[in-house]
Amino acid sequence: MTTWRKNTFPPGSAAAQGLASCHACGLLARMPEQTHDSHDTVCPRCDAPLHLRKPNSIARTWALVITACILYVPANVLPVMQTTTLGATQNDTILSGAAYLWNTGSWDLAIIVFIASIVVPMAKLIALITLLLSVQRRSQHQIQQRTRLYRLVEIVGKWSMLDIYVAALLATLVHFGSLLTIRTGPGAIAFGAVVVVTMFAAKSFDPRLMWDAIETQNHDRAEHPRS
Amino acid sequence: MTEPNTPDPDSTLPTATTRRRGRWSLSIVWLIPLIAIVVGGWLAVRNIMNQGPTVTIQFRTAEGLQADETRIKFRDVDVGVIKSIRLAENGPGVTVTAELNKQVEPMLVDDTKFWVVKPRIAGSGVSGLSTLLSGAYVGMEAGKSQQSRSDFTGLEVPPVLTEGLPGRTFVLKAEDLGSIDYGSPVYYRRIAVGEVVAYRLDPDGSGVSIEVFVRAPYDKYVTESARFWEASGIDFSMDATGVKVNTQSLASVVLGGIAFAPLEGEAVGKEAQSMASFRLYGDRNSAFKRYDNRVEYFELLFRESVHGLTVGAPVEFRGIPIGEVTDIGLDYDREARRLNIPVTVRLYPERLTSRLRSTVGNSTAERQHEFVRMIEAGLRGQLRMGSLITGQLYVALDFFPNAPRTKIDPTQTVVQIPTVQGDLQELQTSLSSIARKLDQIPFQDIVNDLRRAINSLDGTLKSADSTLRSVNSDVLPAIKGAVEDARKTLDHANVLLSQDAPTQTELRDTLREVSRSAASLRTLTDYLDRHPEALIRGRQPEDKP
Amino acid sequence: MTQPTLVACHDCDLLQRRPVLEAGQQARCVRCGARLGRHPYSPVDHTLAYVLGALTTFIIGNCYPVVSLESSGIMTHATLLGAVRALHADNMDAVGALVLFTGFIAPLTILLSLTYLLLPLELGRLAPGFAHLFRLFISVSPWAMVEVMMLGVVVSFVKLAHMATAISGIGLWSFGITMLLMAAMSASMDQADIWRRFEALRHGRLREARA
């Protein structure tokens, strides 16, 4: 368990004052001076675990992001849907599914599927990696934009599930015997895993760490002004 | 700060009234869940009220059936779905539980039938092809009983639906089933007017009984004397009367069928009763042969070659068919020291008498007497060539006034009809006798006489002149006439064999039809090969060839 | 509405003062009776209405097929639970579990827990286990994906319409309404306020217990 010391936090932040905000109910509570390893600190109002910052945020987020990156490959390479017509089986990956929509004239849906299932997961992973790196390098550039980026990642996360629902629905409905049958493929499992893991990754990242970096530096400069 | 324009707010402005809503008064937002609950409740109630009956059906196999997917259809209308399939508890088989619509509840009676509709190749063709695509379904036909029932035993074979259709059922008796099957069509004047609904082996195993259903209003053409025959395939016959090709329809060529027609030449007979019994003949010709009660057997002794005569060759009287040859034998007459060829023929004297419209008594003796009279009047049998093409002979009965008189022995069991030689035969014998005579001519003496005659040539020249003149005017036209006749006969033969002969045309037309159908079938299969999804999506515009 | 404010009636333009409203009060124009403002009866009044509506439509949506497909005489239906079952039958249990959780279990948990918590709150009481259940609601919230499912259904609908006759079912419309109601529910819910109420009521109870 990490022990936070007051002066590792920039002034102006609640943590510098020893105050922690409950992630569940938002109550501002004072963290005890000493924490015992056998006890967890909890929010006085709602009993949720209370921390100054999300524990092990960087490490956990990295682990999840790397897992998602690894799973991203089979998710796009393995077929998501298998269409069987009169004995001929055609495998469709997410990409080929979007291409099919485009080729058959529903370019609007093709764009939606492309964005939701291909662009979004990749963008999320890239965004999270960017955020992680920026925290670890204690970068001060464009923190506000990065915070917006984080909010975007959080909101947009669940929309990648679109392809899973489409595949599930098609596989349920198209059961016309030997004439036409659609089944979900192993790519769907991988893709679902990617979505879930990135959602967890976004949840475990603590954006406050970004703000910690910049204010500490200013604080350092204030304390040790360069001549 | 108060502004000069506005009055003092504190003193002059009224205060809006406040009203307290009652403790239980709700904002309008609550209409939403209220409506939602009302709609949900109404849907639930409607569902419960529309809950239809549940039935169980026993089948031998669950092949093609799937729980929650296989539908139950009544006259092609979806009326239910199979809910579960389990192994039957007692005995082999499966028990299928199905939920049906409420509207069919009154139809679930004792004799309601259920069966599985799968692709089937049967007598009426390939049925249930749509199930290849859609999966099997369970067909249902309502019974007429008043007793309601909820567990049924499914049929293994789809029944031919005649329930509710006006028409009549008849029973046909045949030696064997031939190419008949459930649903084989029944034709009248080449129109499909009914079908085979059932068949079974007779209890004594000597034949089969076939039930056919003829739809109204065609059932009234089934008179008591109508004839039914198997109209399957192509009837191709080549016999003494020529070559004949006969078929009901291209469909019956493939699928088989039964045709019927009333007897011609009869007044419109009484309509046959439902379930009346008929005999099923093998083909049209045998159906209309007058299998009357009276069949007489006669024997004809021929002493010439019977090459070209076969069993079954027709016996004609002046061109009217009255029977056929049943047996050709060989007999050595020891006394007369010669070979005879006894030909047994079967005659239907009724044909003869009905045409002659003479009333003949029914007793055997009277009939015999009649025949003897005719023989005495010159009735003889003769072999004649039936067809130049086939070279087949047939037996002709006719009156030969110059025939030598013969004695009839009426005590013989099989009455013999005396014969005369065939024309050809006659020609042959007379030619050989001429040759013999020529042999006997003393030419030497003739030469001597000729020398003597030259002397009197002058005298005879004049008479020779007049002879030649008569030859010109009498004999030559006769010869010309004979040549003309010969040419006419050859022309006839030509016409029969020519390109436009109706026989050939018909054959060619049929073959052309068949090849055309095959070609279009090939195009279709080619197309399907390339675009299998066309079965669902249909032909895409860009794909149209 | 902590201070009395100046308002002009939107119907008759009378200048008047709108007083501070208490719970359950409405302000009406002195002259023409138009409503000038109101205070909801309780902080969770609207939210609870949306929750109950969404719960009903959610249940309806699960009972009826969302989309039905008809081709060459065969008709197939898809309900949400039917889709999960089909995925299970295809040995795609992982995907089936994901769809089940995000499409059925999470929204149902949200709606049921909110009903359980907010109904007593509407009446001024505190349900037992409030804190735990409210925390459960907060943590499960991001996993309810009814709106993603709706978009998925629309995309599937268009894809299917190319191959056969696709028919929208009652389930589709019900889920659509559920999605809207749940959005309204989120918009009208003030979590901080609810926690404050919780705390107040809890202290009130403790005070009663001590007294």
Q: Which of B9, B29, B537 sits opposite C46 (nearest CB)?
A: B29
Q: Which of B161-170, B318-327, C141-150 has the highest mean pLDDT?
A: C141-150
Distance between B516 CA and the closest CA of chain C, angstroms: 28
> Sorting pLDDT into bands at 50, 70 and 90, what band is B197?
confident
Beta bridge partners of C165: C70
Q: Which residues of C touch B13 (CB under 8 A)?
A: 6, 15-17
Pairing of strands B379-385, B393-399: antiparallel
Check the CA dihedral A104-A107-A108-A112 and report its sign. positive
For C171, list phi and psi in degrees, rounded to 5. Answer: -60, -40
Alpha-helical (H) ranges within A6-119 are: 57-77, 94-103, 107-114
Comparing B430 with B251, the larger pLDDT belongs to B430
Taking the C-alpha atoms of residue A204 and residue A182, their distance in angstroms, rounded to an integer, is: 37
pLDDT at A33: 74
Indicate if the pLDDT at residue B293 is higher than 80.
Answer: no
Q: Which residues of C touch A177 (CB under 8 A)?
A: 74
Of B313, B379, B299, nearest to B343 (Cα)? B299
> Sorting pLDDT into bands at 50, 70 and 90, what band is B416?
confident
Chain B interface mutation, best of C35, C45, C57, highest count of B Cβ atoms under 10 Å: C57
Q: Which of B51-65, B478-492, C177-191 has the highest mean pLDDT?
A: C177-191
Residue B58 contacts by C-beta under 8 Å, 6 or more apart in sequence?
A: B88, B93, B94, B95, B96, B151, B152, B153, B154
Q: Angle between the C80-89 and C93-100 helix axes, to the nearest 10 degrees?
A: 160
Q: Which residues of A touch B535 (CB under 8 A)?
A: 86, 179
Confirm if A220 and A140 have CB atoms less than 8 A apart.
no
Indicate if the pLDDT at residue A175 is higher than 60.
Answer: yes
Taking the C-alpha atoms of residue B193 and residue B162, their distance in angstroms, rounded to an integer, is: 13
Alpha-helical (H) ranges within A31-185 are: 57-77, 94-103, 107-114, 120-136, 143-156, 162-173
Inter-CA distances, B400 with A183, B241, B322, B382, Å: 91, 23, 18, 10
Inter-CA distances, B471 with B474, B484, C177, Å: 5, 18, 119
Cβ of C49 and B16 within 8 Å? no
Taking the C-alpha atoms of residue B174 and residue B523, their distance in angstroms, rounded to an integer, is: 41
Q: Which of C22, C29, C60 sits opposite B16 (nearest CB)?
A: C29
Residue A182 contacts by C-beta under 8 Å, 6 or more apart in sequence?
A: A81, A82, A83, A84, A170, A171, A173, A174, A175
Average pLDDT value for residue range A169-176: 84
pLDDT digits (tens, 9 = 90+) for A197-221: 999 999 999 888 888 876 555 555 5
Q: Which of C102, C152, C195 sits opposite A26 (nearest CB)?
A: C195
Taking the C-alpha atoms of residue B442 and residue B450, their distance in angstroms, rounded to an integer, is: 12
Q: How many residue pairs bridge chain A and chain B with CB atoms within 8 Å of each other? A: 19
- Give me C200's structure tokens: 């107040």
Count of positions (residues) in chain C: 211
pLDDT digits (tens, 9 = 90+) for B97-129: 998 888 888 888 888 888 887 765 554 455 555
In the three-class reduction of DSSP (H, G, I as helix; E, B as strand; rest coil), residue A92 is classed as strand
Pairing of strands B77-87, B94-100: antiparallel
Q: Which residues of A touch B133 (CB under 8 A)?
A: 176-177, 179
Cβ of A169 and C195 within 8 Å? no
Chain A interface mutation, best of C156, C190, C196, highest count of A Cβ atoms under 10 Å: C156
At position A101, the amino acid (one-letter code) is L
Q: Which residues of C touch A163 (CB under 8 A)?
A: 152
For chain C, list the contacting chains (3+ Cβ pairs, <8 Å): A, B
pLDDT at B545: 47
Residue A87 contacts by C-beta under 8 Å, 6 or more apart in sequence?
A: A178
pLDDT digits (tens, 9 = 90+) for C17-42: 888 877 777 888 888 888 777 777 77
Out of A34-38, B152-156, B271-275, B398-402, pick the least confident: A34-38
DSSP letter assigned to residue B175? S
Cβ of B133 and A86 within 8 Å? no
Cβ of C72 and B27 within 8 Å? no
How many Å separate Cα B256 from the centre of its chain?
Answer: 7
Q: Which of C15, C26, C53 sits opposite B36 (nearest CB)?
A: C53
Taking the C-alpha atoms of residue B310 and residue B304, their distance in angstroms, rounded to an integer, is: 15
Average pLDDT value for residue range B361-367: 61
Give the DSSP H/E element, type plus range, for residue A29.
strand A28-30
pLDDT at B332: 81
> Sorting pLDDT into bands at 50, 70 and 90, what band is B541?
low
Q: Which residues of B touch C24 (CB under 8 A)?
A: 20-21, 23
Indicate if the pLDDT at residue C77 is higher than 90.
Answer: no
Distance between C192 CA and the closest CA of chain B, angstroms: 22
Indicate if the pLDDT at residue B242 is higher than 70.
Answer: no
Distance between A112 CA and the closest CA of chain C, angstroms: 9
Of B202, B253, B203, B258, nearest to B226 (Cα)? B258
* CA angle B111–B114–B118, rounded 5-degree value: 150
pLDDT at B543: 46
Cis bond before residue B217 (omega within 30° of 0)? yes
- DSSP collapsed to 3 states, B259-295: EEECCCCCCCCCECCCCCEEEEECCHHHHHCCCCCCC
Instruction: Count CB atoms within 10 A of the CB of residue B24.
Output: 6
- Measured between CA atoms, the residue of chain C closest to residue A177 is C74
Indicate if the pLDDT at residue B357 is higher than 60.
Answer: no
Confirm if B96 and B153 have CB atoms less than 8 A apart.
no
Tell me what the pLDDT averaged over chain B comes to. 75
Out of A123-127, B139-143, C108-112, pick the least confident: B139-143
The DSSP-derived string for C75-108 is EEEE-HHHHHHHHHHTT-HHHHHHHHIIIIIHHH
Distance between A130 CA and the closest CA of chain C, angstroms: 23
Indicate if the pLDDT at residue B388 is higher than 70.
Answer: no
Of B175, B273, B290, nearest to B230 (Cα)? B175
At position B537, the amino acid (one-letter code) is R
Cβ of C50 and B26 within 8 Å? no
Indicate if the pLDDT at residue B6 is higher than 50.
Answer: no
pLDDT at C133: 93
Taking the C-alpha atoms of residue A186 and residue A198, their distance in angstroms, rounded to an integer, is: 19
Average pLDDT value for residue range A58-78: 93
Taking the C-alpha atoms of residue C148 and residue A68, their distance in angstroms, rounded to an integer, is: 21
Tell me what the pLDDT averaged over chain A comes to. 83
Taking the C-alpha atoms of residue B223 and residue B201, their distance in angstroms, rounded to an integer, is: 25
Taking the C-alpha atoms of residue B538 and residue B531, their distance in angstroms, rounded to an integer, is: 9
Taking the C-alpha atoms of residue B471 and residue B478, their distance in angstroms, rounded to an integer, is: 10
> Sorting pLDDT into bands at 50, 70 and 90, what band is B241?
low
User: In chain B, pLDDT over 70 holds for what percent of residues?
Assistant: 72
Q: Which of A98-107, A122-131, B207-216, C4-13 has the highest mean pLDDT?
A: A122-131
Q: Which of B134, B135, B532 sits opposite A85 (nearest CB)?
A: B532
pLDDT at B538: 65
DSSP letter assigned to residue C45? H
pLDDT digits (tens, 9 = 90+) for C118-145: 999 888 888 898 989 999 999 999 999 9
pLDDT at C60: 93
Average pLDDT value for residue range B247-269: 67
Indicate if the pLDDT at residue B484 is higher than 90.
Answer: no
For tokens 């794909």, the residue is B543
* CA angle C61–C65–C68, rounded 5-degree value: 145
Cβ of A26 and C159 within 8 Å? no
Average pLDDT value for residue range B513-517: 78
pLDDT at C139: 92
pLDDT at B7: 47
For chain A, list the contacting chains (3+ Cβ pairs, <8 Å): B, C
- Give me A194's structure tokens: 């990617």
Q: What is the pTM of this model?
A: 0.59
pLDDT at B3: 43
Confirm if A31 and A18 have CB atoms less than 8 A apart.
yes
Taking the C-alpha atoms of residue A219 and residue A15, their distance in angstroms, rounded to an integer, is: 14
Taking the C-alpha atoms of residue A45 and residue C135, their distance in angstroms, rounded to an integer, is: 11
Q: Which of C72, C94, C199 sits opposite A45 (nearest CB)?
A: C199
pLDDT at B252: 58
Cβ of A85 and B69 within 8 Å? no
